[in-house]
Each structure stands twice: as C-alpha cells, then as structure tokens.
Structure 1
Amino acid sequence: MAYDRATATPIGRGGLSCTAERRLELGWAVRESWWGQGYATQIDRAGLDSAFSELGAREVISFTETRNHRSRAVMERLGFRHDRDITHRGEPFVLYVHAACS
C-alpha cells in the first residue's frame, strides 16, 4: 500500500506476484485523483528494486490493456520494453519485460 505522507490518505498499491508461468510480475493501481503525480513510478521502482536486489530476479514482466497509455508510459520510463501483444480474458493487452542489468 502507498499512502500520502502528509495526510496518510491511501494513494494506491503495488507489488510483485508469481504468474502461472512462473514469471515474476509487477502490478499496481493508483487512485485516479492521484494520477499524474509520479506515484505509479515510485511504487513500480520499489517493486523492481525488490525483484532484482532482494529476490535476484533475472526479469520482471508487467502487462496492461493496449489502450492504457499511462501505464505503458510508466513501464517504459522504468526500462520495461514491449515484448508482444497478448489476449487476456478475451481483451487486447500488451506484455512488457524488464531484464536485470548484466
């Protein structure tokens, strides 16, 4: 969970999970009233740091709806690269991958 430091208001959430394909996935959600203030990037950066530093991951994936340009921008800002288009629950999504630095 992420909270505003001044008011303790919940801003959003994020974290890592293991997919059915045994891949480490980073996901997040930020309340709409807090969009555009960099919180998704902060949440995701913490997740990536944990994945690579603490868990020793070789890669992390993330996906979103094809039309979700805000989330795609967050992923690209953090170094994720578009891997391929996918279908999830019958809807068009995009899969991004972030590889650990060698």
Structure 2
Amino acid sequence: MVTLETERLLLRMFREEDFDDYAAIFSDPEVTRYLGDGEPLSRFAAWRSLAVMLGHWQLRGYGMWAVEESQSGILVGRIGFFYPEGWPGFEIGWALKPAYWGLGYAIEGAKAALNYGFSELGQEHVISLIYPDNIRSIQVAKRLGEKLEGKTTVFGREALIYGINREAWDIT
C-alpha cells in the first residue's frame, strides 16, 4: 500500500485502530457540514465510511489516506482520491479535524496526493466537488491551482466543480 510523507504529515493506509478517532472526527457537525448529506456520522455510519475508504483502494488501486501529524502521531483526518461508480470525475478531497484547520495541512497533503495522482496514476484531470458555501475548501482548491469548471449535484445538493489538468499542475 502507498504511503506519502510531507514535511509535517504522513499519508498512510487506514488501520482498524484508527476507528475511534475516525468516528470522532466524522461525528463532528463542523466536519460533516460540507460532506455528503451534511449530517454527522453515527459510529455505525463511520464504520461503513471507513470500510468504503479501504474498499476504494482495493477496487480502484487508489483512495483516501489517513492523515497523521508526523510529530505527534495524531490522526487529523483524510486526504486523497475518490471516484466511485457514477461520480462526475476523479476527485481529490480533504477533511480534517477543526483543530487542524488553517494550518496548511489540507494544502500540504493535497499537493503530495496530486503529485502522486499525476505522476504515478497518470491522471490527466483531477476535480474537487465543493459545496458553494464551503469557503475554506474553495480557498484550498484555488491554492492548489484548481479553477471553477462548473456545477453538478451530489447527494441532492448543488456542488461546484473545481479542477486542474496535469499540464497546469506545478509540482512545487
């Protein structure tokens, strides 16, 4: 399984021992407000979500990584790729604990993931689906070089499509 390291983060596979932290992260209404249907996850739903993250790797050969702060070893969220059946494109996404918002972790981890997606997975185009009122994620997408490409509907909600092509990606 693929592991990526940045200056401050370790992007690694999820493990069973991550479940309590994962469930706590995704039971927080601030975290889930802009994900899926916007509702916090019960422990059962968090288990299913984690299983989807792991199954995505098995079925597609890529997916979301657990994001661990290197220095502390704390699980701070997830960053990576999502492209289930019927999805509008090969997506990069991020979700972190609120205590870690504003520290540049989403950008740092997403840059490492995008480098991997373009260089190792051979992707030509990557999108991010972002709800219009999710200003923080829009800022992350823009800092990654993504441009607004249109709109779609996911989970019954309007989402903006931000995207970037391989040739526009600046690896630095």
- The one of the two structures with greater contact order (alpha-carbon pairs below 8 A, sep at least 6) is 1
Task: Provide the aligned C-alpha RMSD in A.
Answer: 1.6
**Structure 1 residue runs of 4 or more that deviate by more than 6 Å after TM superposition:** none
Rg (Cα) greater in structure: 2
Change in CA separation of 1:3 and 1:27 when aligned onto 2, cut-off 3 Å: same
- Please, which runs of 5 or more residues in structure 2 have no aligned partner? 1-65
Match of 1:82 in 2: 148
- Please, which runs of 5 or more residues in structure 1 have no aligned partner? none
After TM superposition, give the deviation of residue 35 of structure 1 in Å: 0.3
3-state secondary structure, aligned to 2:167: coil
Whether 1:52 and 2:118 are equivalent positions in the alignment is yes
Match of 1:39 in 2: 105
Please state which structure has a larger fraction of its residues in helix: 2
- Taking the aligned partners of 2:150 and 2:100, their CA distance within structure 1 comes to 29
TM-score, L = length of structure 1? 0.90
Residue type at the aligned position of 1:47: A
For these two proteins, the number of residue pairs brought into alignment is: 102
Please state which structure has a larger fraction of its residues in strand: 1
TM-score, L = length of structure 2? 0.55
Match of 2:75 in 1: 10
